[in-house]
């Protein structure tokens, strides 16, 4: 199920509530057209488990940036070794968390070329979080930007800006670190692309599968 999320001129952003399934017919068409399927985890659970070390690495990197301005401590999440552990979650905090999910995914979406005009590009939200999906043909360099942008902007650059303005309160720190942690799966996907896809190649998606191919864009119909 997908429906209009917003409009801008003739463009639209589509919101999908379920991640697209692999289309076997599209898979055959891509293989016949010399697209190469990426070797990557076969499902989300495997991807999340494989990404745990990267989640930890991302979080440590973000903590390092936070430490320049306002060191992160366990007290920021209500843990004090000398006292009883208390963790209070307010509805407002949940709203901030949901907002973070949308902002993270919208940043991915924003860097996809022509996302407003594309009927192959979706912003998704499920019980397990958000996602951005596109079957557009995207260059490796742009794909890298799309993948890295939420982590760099929200967990590296944003804490620097908030720190300089003295606005790094405990909630802001937690949201920044949650974004860093959730970006671990993005980093895992990027590593597979960096290892397997040559420079100058293009990528496209078919459900959870990713494919790459060298394309000469100067030749009409080359994709």
Closest by CA position to 159, among listed 172, 146, 145:
172
Which two tokens mark 152?
């760099």
Q: Is residue 146 part of a domain?
A: yes
Q: Is residue 86 part of a domain?
A: yes
Total structural domains in the chain? 1
pLDDT (tens digit per residue) in 1-57: 455 455 444 567 788 888 889 999 999 999 999 999 999 998 888 999 999 999 999
pLDDT (tens digit per residue) in 142-154: 999 999 999 999 9
Q: Is residue 79 part of a domain?
A: yes
Give pLDDT, residue 8. Answer: 45
Go through the chain and tell me how many residues it has. Answer: 223
Q: Are 185 and 48 in contact (CB under 8 A)?
A: yes
The pTM (predicted TM-score) of the whole model is 0.85
Give the CA diameter of the chain.
Answer: 69
> Cα(first)–Cα(last) distance of the chain, in Å?
28
Give pLDDT, residue 38. Answer: 96
* Other Cβ atoms closer than 10 A to 27: 16
Structural domain containing residue 169:
43-131+142-186
Q: Is residue 35 part of a domain?
A: no
| Residue 77 pLDDT > 70 | no
Q: Is residue 54 part of a domain?
A: yes
Give pLDDT, residue 129. Answer: 77
Distance of alpha carbon 207 from alpha carbon 21, whole angstroms: 5
């Amino acid at each position: 199920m997908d429906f209009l999320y917003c409009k801008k001129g003739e463009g639209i952003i589509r919101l999908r509530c379920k991640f697209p399934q692999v289309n076997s017919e599209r898979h055959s068409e891509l293989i016949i057209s010399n697209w190469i399927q990426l070797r990557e985890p076969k499902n989300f659970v495997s991807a999340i488990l494989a990404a745990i070390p990267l989640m930890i690495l991302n979080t440590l990197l973000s903590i390092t940036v936070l430490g320049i301005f306002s060191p992160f401590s366990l007290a920021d999440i209500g843990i004090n070794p000398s006292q009883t552990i208390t963790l209070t979650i307010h509805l407002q905090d949940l709203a901030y968390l949901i907002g973070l999910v949308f902002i993270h995914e919208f940043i991915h979406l924003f860097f996809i070329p022509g996302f407003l005009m594309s009927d192959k590009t979706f912003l998704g939200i499920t019980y397990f979080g958000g996602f951005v999906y596109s079957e557009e043909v995207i260059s490796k360099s742009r794909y890298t930007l799309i993948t890295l942008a939420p982590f760099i902007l929200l967990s590296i650059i944003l804490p620097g800006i908030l720190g300089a303005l003295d606005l790094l309160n405990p909630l802001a720190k937690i949201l920044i670190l949650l974004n860093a942690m959730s970006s671990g799966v993005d980093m895992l996907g990027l590593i597979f692309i960096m290892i397997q896809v040559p420079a100058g190649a293009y990528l496209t998606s078919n459900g959870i599968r990713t494919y790459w191919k060298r394309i000469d864009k100067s030749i009409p119909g080359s994709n």
